[in-house]
Amino acid sequence: MHFLPIINDSPWQIVKQEKNKHKNTANTDFTFVPAVGTISVIKKRKLNWSDNDAPPRKKLAKFLSSQRQSPLGLIWDSHDYSCSYDSFFTILYNIWKDNPEKWTENLQSIENTYLNLLVKGFQNMNGNQTFESVRNSVREKLHKNYPSIFPLGHAGTSVGQLAYYMLKPTDYNATSQAICSKCNNEDMEVDEIHAYSVHIASISTASSTQDWVDPFEYPIGQFCQECLSPMVKYVKYDHIPKTLVLEYPHTDIETSHQIKFVVNGKSISLYLRGIIYHGDNHFTSRVISREGQIWYHDGMLTKDTCIEDGTLQDMSNEELKECQDKDLVLAVYSQI
């Protein structure tokens, strides 16, 4: 049985793939749209082919793609800086929205107070709650319990800390075991609580995707009583995570489109659903749909909408590492 996720680089399967009309590079500026409620890159088109035309399939696909709806984003709060919440919650919301019933269950199964509050808020957004009021209620509770980690006002909040506190379960969800790196000596398995949020850089010297194969291997600074070699702690989740946040700022680690977990010969994949970027004391994000469509969100500039930003399949790893002069800090994966 594999403890550890196997990382694949197989691309998303795009059902109807568009030609790469989008040419985003890290240095290309977006034209942001000042007008409220409009998105310049999505132009409404009329169905204008006649009955005599060749099969309109192509035109229909084009038309449908032009009608793609922007994911809902969070509007930045200029009094209590909210960009960490805006970027992370916008990605989570758009995962949840794919299948509210299933994702309510998936996220509630983590049994995290803050995450439960967020999910409840998502459910109430059809009623009188705005996305912003949902964000604020979760934030209030985090602030009340951890005021220095989740400050109000013009202070910044680490999005890595936010993901950690939101995705840490109440109950044991993992086991760990220290095993000698040389001989067969191993300690007993121990039950542990592990957040579904992993800081890759702190536990691995991985520089390539392939090195990520063993992300949950912690050096622990202990030595084997039999042969004096270093002991290594292996951690495995009891169940394959429904969602997983990988934090790897300032590394050359490649962002896989898919992470495959293999348990008892059965493999389950988690897909890249969002990336958070940081620069100039501000977080922004790329929200990625199940089909691999990428949307850019900045609570300060795009506010409650997102801007089309190409497809995952057409974007190189270098292009994923940067966005509007900001650098990747973490990626959000989920089952679909």
**Nearest approach, Cβ of residue 176 and Zn ion (Å):** 18
**Nearest approach, Cβ of residue 203 and Zn ion (Å):** 21
**Nearest approach, Cβ of residue 230 and Zn ion (Å):** 9
**Nearest approach, Cβ of residue 213 and Zn ion (Å):** 23
Instruction: Assess 189 for contact with Zn ion (CB under 5 A).
Output: no
Instruction: Assess 231 for contact with Zn ion (CB under 5 A).
Output: no
Instruction: Assess 60 for contact with Zn ion (CB under 5 A).
Output: no
DSSP string, 174-237: EEEEEEESSSS-B---EEE---SEEEHHHH----SGGGGG-TTEEEEEEE-TTT-PEEEEEEEE
Query: If we measure between CA atoms, which residue out of 252, 268, 251 comes closest to residue 106?
Result: 268
Q: Which residues contact 239 (CB under 8 A, 6 or more apart)?
A: 173
Among 161, 175, 177, 185, binds Zn ion (CB under 5 A): 185
How far lies 167's CA from each of 55, 109, 136, 193, 319, in Å? 49, 11, 18, 11, 28
Report the sign of the C-alpha dihedral through residues 213, 219, 224, 227, in that order.
positive
| Beta-carbon count within 10 A of 141 CB | 15
Please work out the total of residues on this chain that contact Zn ion, with binding judged by CB under 5 A: 8
Instruction: Assess 220 for contact with Zn ion (CB under 5 A).
Output: no
Instruction: Assess 116 for contact with Zn ion (CB under 5 A).
Output: no
Cβ nearer to Zn ion, comparing 233 with 257: 233
Among 60, 64, 183, 220, binds Zn ion (CB under 5 A): 183
DSSP secondary structure letter of residue 167? S
Instruction: Assess 186 for contact with Zn ion (CB under 5 A).
Output: no
Cβ nearer to Zn ion, comparing 25 with 229: 229
**Nearest approach, Cβ of residue 224 and Zn ion (Å):** 3
The C-alpha atoms of residue 79 and residue 310 are separated, in whole angstroms, by: 32
Which of the ranges 56-64, 139-147, 228-236, 321-329 carries the binding residues for Zn ion, by CB under 5 A?
A: 228-236
**Nearest approach, Cβ of residue 182 and Zn ion (Å):** 5
The owner of tokens 């749909």 is: 289
Which of the ranges 71-79, 194-202, 216-224, 320-328 carries the binding residues for Zn ion, by CB under 5 A?
A: 216-224
Instruction: Assess 224 for contact with Zn ion (CB under 5 A).
Output: yes
Instruction: Assess 178 for contact with Zn ion (CB under 5 A).
Output: no
* Strand, helix or coil for residue 139: helix
Residue 10, judged by CB atoms within 10 A of its CB (0-12, 13-18, 19+), counts as exposed
Cβ nearer to Zn ion, comparing 189 with 226: 226
Among 74, 180, 312, 329, binds Zn ion (CB under 5 A): 180
Label each residue of 15-67 as H, E or C: CCCCCCCCCCCCCCCCCCCCCCCCCCCCCCCCCCCCCCCCCCHHHHHHHHHHC
**Nearest approach, Cβ of residue 214 and Zn ion (Å):** 18
Instruction: Assess 226 for contact with Zn ion (CB under 5 A).
Output: yes
**Nearest approach, Cβ of residue 221 and Zn ion (Å):** 15
| Beta-carbon count within 10 A of 195 CB | 20
Q: Which residues contact 79 (CB under 8 A, 6 or more apart)?
A: 153
Which of the ranges 57-65, 110-118, 219-227, 306-314 carries the binding residues for Zn ion, by CB under 5 A?
A: 219-227
Cβ nearer to Zn ion, comparing 172 with 223: 223
Cβ nearer to Zn ion, comparing 146 with 223: 223
- Rounding to the nearest 10 degrees, give the CA dihedral for residues 112, 115, 119, 122: 170
Binding site for Zn ion (CB under 5 A): 180, 182-183, 185, 224, 226-227, 229
